[in-house]
Amino acid sequence: MTMTLETEPSKLPLHEEHLLKGARMGDFGGWLVPLFYTSIMEEHTAVRTKAGLFDISHMGEFLVEGPGALSYLEKNLPRRITPVKFSQAIYMPLVNDQGGMVDDIIVYRMAEQKFLIIVNAGNIAKDFAWFNARVPRDVTVTDMSEDMGLLALQGPLSQTILLECFGAFYKDLRRFHYKDFEGGVIARTGYTGEDGYEIMIPKTKLKQVWDILFRVGEKHGLLPIGFGARDTLRLEAAMPLYGHELNDEITPLEAALEWAIDLTKHEFPGSTILKNQKLKGVQKKRIGLEMTERGIPRQSFEIQKNGKTIGSVTSGSFIPTTGKNIGMAYVKTAEAIAGNTIDVMIREKPVKAIVVSLPFYKRSQS
């Protein structure tokens, strides 16, 4: 008889604070995280109308530095790094030699030869191995994930709350730029489709910042937000999630992320395959779908057209902003046309849906 030991999920550094706020906890990629505090629908609406605070300290942080750091990243990343200014950030997929996506990351330029890279929690070990397999002698890659925490303040009132907490120094912070803060950074980035900030700080200072944000934000309707609403918000904004829309076999062109790579670069891992795919076209594409009959599309649900399989769902949910059931999926390229009627197989029955343009939701810029 063979015994298997189940590993306990890791706890967020603010685990006790989440319990105090009434969080319903659950497992997410090996982490014990707040799924919701009141309800997913209420928390989703709060971020769309006021503001919400997320504890995303499960995310990973790498520091890349040394005399050859810039040339190292230029050689291995699919976007040009040289034009990125100090205090600026850039989003991109991390690509393997077959053109598939190892992860999607954000690269922050801290100095001429110093870069901060944010990676997904479930991919920390894999990404660290990817970077180290290619690193030259004059570059050091350091995993800072154990020492750093990350909070996301998101929603139309996020700027008001942030400035009341930490001052006018952050007023002119532009989208995908950052400023130094308490041994870390405040960046104007997010994963909700709303305006907002991500605050990376040493874990020793995390509770203090969490408390300040709620003390000030309470009068503005700030709520703690769980991973349930994080998922519905990013889905509505059509932001891909690793393990759903992204994986090691799916390419950026199939995922509608061609804008996040630069095929004019001479060479990077997978570039030859991707350039060839651009020339010949892709066999499948990421789409948005909206249910026209009753039913919620869920990951792995089969998609059919005229009784034949054409793809599968990668993410889906009911969304309170519109009151609709929506999803993202991969289907054959010929079927990835807005207005195309398709069937989502729910409990072995075809349920009608329509292909729609992405994103489902785009915030007002006013």
Whose CA is closest to 146, among 57, 33, 209, 18? 57
CATH 3.30.70.1400 domain residues, the chain: 60-143
Burial level of 97, CB count in 10 A (0-12/13-18/19+)?
Answer: exposed
CATH 3.30.1360.120 domain residues, the chain: 10-56+146-236
pLDDT of residue 293: 98
pTM of the model: 0.95
pLDDT digits (tens, 9 = 90+) for 307-364: 999 999 999 999 999 999 999 999 999 999 999 999 999 999 999 999 999 999 999 8
User: Following DSSP, what letter does each residue of 79-111 receive, concatenated?
Assistant: S--TTPPTTBEEEEEEE-TTS-EEEEEEEEEEE
The CATH number of 283-356, from 3.20.20.80, 2.40.30.110, 2.60.120.200, 3.40.50.720, is 2.40.30.110
For residue 14, give Cα distances in angstroms to 27, 153, 209, 247: 15, 15, 11, 29
Q: How confident is the model at residue 5 (pLDDT cuts 50, 70, 90)?
A: low
Over the chain, what is the mean pLDDT? 96
Other residues' Cβ atoms within 10 Å of the Cβ of residue 21: 15
**Residues 29 and 10: beta-carbon distance below 8 Å:** no
Q: How confident is the model at residue 150 (pLDDT cuts 50, 70, 90)?
A: very high
Average pLDDT over residues 160-187: 98
pLDDT digits (tens, 9 = 90+) for 9-36: 999 999 999 999 999 999 998 999 999 9
The CATH number of 60-143, from 3.40.50.1390, 3.40.190.290, 3.40.250.10, 3.30.70.1400, is 3.30.70.1400
CATH 2.40.30.110 domain residues, the chain: 283-356
Q: For domain 10-56+146-236, give the fold.
A: Gyrase A; domain 2 (3.30.1360)
Average pLDDT over residues 290-309: 98
